[in-house]
Amino acid sequence: MTQEERKRLIEQRLKKRYLKEKVFRSIGLLAVLAALSMLFILFATIILSGYRSFQQTYIRLNVLLDKTVIAPSGSANDDDIFSADYVALLKATLKDMFPEVSSRQEKKMLYSLLSSGASMQVMDFVMQNKNLIGTKQTIWVTADDDFDMLIKGYIKRNVPEEERRIKDVQLKWIDKMMAQGRVEKRFNLPFFINGDSREPELAGIRGGLVGTFYTILVTLLLSFPLGVATAVYLEEFAPLNRWTDIVEVNINNLAAVPSIVFGLLGLAVFINFFGLPRSSPLVGGLVLTLVTLPTIIIASRAALKAVPPSIRHAALGIGASKMQAVIHHVIPLAMPGMMTGTIIGMARALGETASLLMIGMVAFIVETPADILEPATVLPVQIYLWADSAELAFVERTSMAIMVLLWFLIVMNGVAIVLRNRFEKRW
Amino acid sequence: MRKLLVASLVFMFLFATSAVSYAARDYINIVGSSTVYPFATVVAEQYGKSTKFKTPKVESTGTGGGLKLFCGGVGVEHPDIANASRRIKASEVEMCGKNGVKDIIEAKIGYDGIVIANSKNAPLMKLTTKDIFLALVKDVPTDKADELKPNPHKTWKDVNPELPDVKIEVLGPPPTSGTRDAFVELAMESGCKEFAWVKELKDEKKFKAICHAVREDGAYIEAGENDTLIVKKLAANSNAFGIFGFSFLEQSMDKIQGSVIAGVEPTFDNIASSKYPISRPLYFYVKKAHVDMIPGIKEYLKEFTSEKAWGPDGYLVDKGLIPMPPAEREKYEKSVNALENLSL
CB within 8 Å of B82: residues ≥ 6 apart:
B30, B31, B32, B66, B67, B69, B70, B284, B285
* Closest chain A CA to residue B25: A374
**Confidence band of B4 (pLDDT split at 50, 70, 90):** low
In a domain, residue A49? The reply is no
Q: Spell out where A74-118 has E strands.
A: none
Give the SS3 label for residue A99. Answer: coil
Query: Which residues of A are less than 8 Å from B315 in CB distance?
Result: 116
User: A27 lies in a domain?
Assistant: no
Asked if the structure places residue A13 within a domain, the reply is no
* More confident call, B181 vs B226: B181
Domain assignment of residue A366, given as a range: 206-423
CA geometry: angle at A230 spanning A224 and A231, to 5°? 90
The pLDDT assigned to B16 comes to: 53
Handedness of CA A392, A394, A397, A403 (dihedral sign): negative
Q: Do B254 and A159 touch (CB under 8 A)?
A: yes
Count the domains in chain A. 2
Chain centroid to CA B99: how far?
25
Tell me the chain B residues in contact with residue A362 when contact means C-beta distances shorter than 8 Å: 59-60
At A383, is the pLDDT very low, low, confident or very high (cuts 50, 70, 90)? Answer: very high
Nearest CA distance, B66 vs chain A (angstrom)? 11
Instruction: Indicate if A97 and A229 belong to the same structural domain.
Output: no
CA distance readout (Å), B342 to B37, B97, B103, B286, B335: 22, 12, 7, 10, 9
Looking at the fold, whether A290 and A382 belong to one and the same domain comes out as yes
Cα angle A317, A322, A325 (rounded to 5 degrees) comes to: 70
Q: Is residue A12 one of the residues assigned to a domain? A: no
Q: What is the largest CA-CA distance in chain B?
A: 81
Mean pLDDT estimate for chain A: 90
How many CB atoms neighbour CB A238 within 10 A?
14
Helices A331-350 and A206-232, axial angle in degrees (round to 10): 140
Cα angle: B286, vertex B176, A361; to 5 degrees? 60
Task: Tell me what the mean pLDDT of segment A293-310 comes to.
Answer: 94
**Distance (Å, whole) CA B278 – CA B243:** 11
CB B63 within 8 A of CB B84: yes
A235 pLDDT more than 70: yes
State phi, psi for A154 to the nearest 5 degrees.
Answer: -75, -40
pLDDT at B22 over 60: no
Q: Assess whether A275 and A404 both reside in one domain.
A: yes
Minimal Cβ distance to A225: which of B8, B15, B48: B8
Looking at residue A396, which CATH number applies to its domain? 1.10.3720.10
Q: Are residues A259 and A371 in the same domain?
A: yes
Q: CB–CB of A373 and B18 under 8 A?
A: yes
A384 neighbors A362 (Cβ within 8 angstroms) = yes
pLDDT digits (tens, 9 = 90+) for B35-57: 899 899 999 998 998 888 999 99
Q: How far A382 CA lies from chain B's nearest CA (Å)?
A: 13
B233 touches chain A (CB under 8 A): no
Q: Which of B37, B45, B248 lies at the smallest CB-CB distance from A197?
A: B45
| Chain A CB contacts of B247 below 8 Å | 390
Asked if the C-beta of B251 comes within 8 angstroms of chain A's C-beta atoms, the answer is yes
Q: Could you count the other beta carbons within 10 Å of the beta carbon of residue A16?
A: 10
Parallel/antiparallel/unpaired status of strands B170-172 and B220-222: parallel
SS3 readout for B69-106: HHCCCCCCCCCCEEEECCCCCHHHHHHHHHCCCCCEEE
- Measured over the CA atoms of residue B238, residue B241, residue B244 and residue B247, the dihedral's sign is positive
User: What pLDDT shows up at residue A142?
Assistant: 93
DSSP bridge pairs for B256? B119
**Would you give the DSSP letter of residue A153?**
T
Do A214 and A155 sit in the same domain of this protein? no
* Interfacial B residues in 65-104 facing A (CB < 8 Å): 77
Q: CA of B254 to nearest chain A CA: how many angstroms apart?
A: 5
Interface test with A, best of B228, B252, B256, B268 (most A CBs within 10 A): B228
Other Cβ atoms within 10 Å of A95 Cβ, number: 14
Is position A26 within any domain? Answer: no
In one-letter notation, the amino acid at residue B52 is K
The yes-or-no verdict on residue B295 having pLDDT over 80 is yes
Helix (H, G, I), strand (E, B) or coil at B54: coil
Q: pLDDT band at residue B21, thresholds of 50, 70 and 90? A: very low
- Inspect the interface and report whether the beta carbons of B38 and A375 lie closer than 8 Å: no
Contact residues, chain A, for B250 at CB < 8 Å: 390
Q: How many CB atoms lie within 10 A of CB A107?
A: 15
CB pairs under 8 A between A and B: 102
The tally of CA atoms less than 13 A away on the side-chain side of residue A7 is 3
Interface test with A, best of B15, B229, B321 (most A CBs within 10 A): B15
pLDDT of residue A390: 78
- E strand or H helix at A363: strand A363-364
Q: Are residues A130 and A243 in the same domain?
A: no
Pick the more confident residue, A75 or B156: B156
Stretch A372-400: mean pLDDT: 90
Do A181 and A210 belong together in one domain? no
Residue A116 lies in a domain: yes
**Biggest CA-to-CA distance, chain A:** 118
The whole-chain average pLDDT of chain B stands at: 85
Q: Is B5 on the interface with A (CB under 8 A)?
A: yes
Using CB atoms, pick whichever of B1, B5, B228 lies closest to residue A390.
Answer: B228
Q: How far off is chain B from A90, nearest CA to CA, in Å?
A: 16
pLDDT at B330: 92
pLDDT band at B2 (very low <50, low <70, confident <90, very high): low
Bridge partners, B149 (sequence order): B140
d(CA A369, CA A347) in angstroms, rounded, equals 21
Chain B: residue whose CA lies nearest to A162: B253
Q: Last residue of some domain: A136, A156, A186?
A: A186
- E-strand ranges in chain B read 29-32, 57-59, 81-84, 104-119, 126-127, 139-141, 148-150, 170-172, 220-222, 241-245, 256-258, 260-261, 279-287
Chain A residues interacting with chain B (CB cutoff of 8 angstroms): 82, 108, 112, 116, 120, 156, 159, 162-165, 195, 197-199, 221-222, 224-225, 274-279, 282, 331, 335, 360, 362-367, 373, 375, 387-392
Q: What is the DSSP string of A21-83?
A: HHHHHHHHHHHHHHHHHHHHHHHHHHHHHHGGGGEEEEEEEEEE--HHHH-TTSS--HHHHHH
Residues B53-101: tens digit of each pLDDT: 999 999 988 888 899 999 999 988 899 999 998 889 899 999 999 999 9
- Contact: B8, A120; criterion CB under 8 Å: no
DSSP assignment, residue A159? S
**Does the beta carbon of B223 lie under 8 angstroms from any beta carbon of chain A?**
no
- Are both A252 and A369 inside the same structural domain? yes
B318: contact with A, CB 8 A cutoff: yes
Q: Which chain B residues touch A120 with a CB distance below 8 Å?
A: 49
**Which range among A212-226, A390-404, B214-228 shows the weakest confidence by mean pLDDT?**
B214-228
Check pLDDT > 70 for residue B20: no
pLDDT at B225: 66
Find residues 13-42 of chain B whose CB sits inside 8 Å of chain A: 15, 18-19, 22, 25, 27, 29, 37-38, 40-42
Same domain for A362 and A319: yes
DSSP per residue, B247-264? HHHHHTTTTEEEPEETTB
* Per-residue model confidence as pLDDT tens digits over A58-115: 999 999 888 888 877 777 777 778 878 888 889 889 988 898 888 877 888 898 899 9
Q: Is residue A182 located within the same domain as residue A213? A: no
Q: Where are the beta strands (DSSP E) in A92-218?
A: 136-142, 183-187
CA dist B148 and A165 (Å) reads 47
Complex ipTM value: 0.78
pLDDT, position B15: 57
Q: Check whether B19 has a pLDDT greater than 70.
A: no
Strand partners, B158: none
Q: Is A250 exposed, middle or buried (0-12, 13-18, 19+ CB in 10 A)?
A: exposed
* In a domain? residue A124: yes
Q: Is the domain of A182 the same as that of A218?
A: no
Contacts of A282 in chain B (CB under 8 A): 15, 18
In DSSP terms, A54 is beta-bridged to none
Lowest mean pLDDT across A20-34, B16-30, B303-317: B16-30
Query: Which residues of chain A does B4 touch, with a Cβ-Cβ cutoff of 8 Å?
Result: 224-225
The nearest CA of chain A is from the CA of B78 a distance in Å of 9
Which stretches of B25-160 are assigned E, i.e. beta strand? 29-32, 57-59, 81-84, 104-119, 126-127, 139-141, 148-150
Q: Do B59 and A279 touch (CB under 8 A)?
A: yes
Domains of chain B by start residue, with CATH: 22-111+281-337 (3.40.190.10), 113-279 (3.40.190.10)
Residues A324 and A329: their CA atoms lie apart, in Å, by 8
Same domain, A248 and A356: yes
What percent of chain A lies above the pLDDT cut of 90? 60
Name residue A127's amino acid.
Answer: M
Q: What is the predicted pLDDT for the residue at B41?
A: 93
Let me know if residue A40 belongs to a domain.
no
pLDDT average, residue stretch A24-47: 96
> Which of B50-54, B119-123, B251-255 comes out lowest in average pLDDT?
B251-255
B281 CB contacts (<8 Å, ≥6 apart)? Answer: B86, B87, B108, B110, B111
Smallest CA–CA distance, residue B104 to chain A, in Å, is 22
The C-alpha of A10 sits at a distance from chain B's nearest C-alpha, in angstroms, of 57
Q: Cβ B248–A390 below 8 Å, yes or no?
A: yes
Cβ <8 Å between B49 and A120 = yes
